Amino acid sequence: MKLLLWLLLLVFAWPLALLALILYPIVWLLSIPFRLIGISVRGLFDLLDAIIRLPARALRGKPPA
């Protein structure tokens, strides 16, 4: 889908399409640190969630088989 949109942009506004082609890898590289921060924050929240729910899981015991 992205390729079709880019080709459409190339037909109607080729300078803008070439600029987008050049800037896309730069923007992707600049966004890597923000993605890593997002992954770390999500991991921290998952850890806190597991710690908070641990007593309830321990008291529940094993379900009957």
Q: DSSP string covering 6-56, please?
A: HHHHHHH-HHHHHHHHHHHHHHHHHHHHHHHHHHHHHHHHHHHHHHHHHHH
The predicted structure's pLDDT at residue 64? 61
Residue 65 pLDDT exceeds 70:
no
**What confidence tens digit (pLDDT) does each residue in 2-45 have?**
899 989 988 999 899 999 889 999 999 999 999 999 999 999 99
The predicted structure's pLDDT at residue 59? 85
Does this model's pTM top 0.85? My answer is no
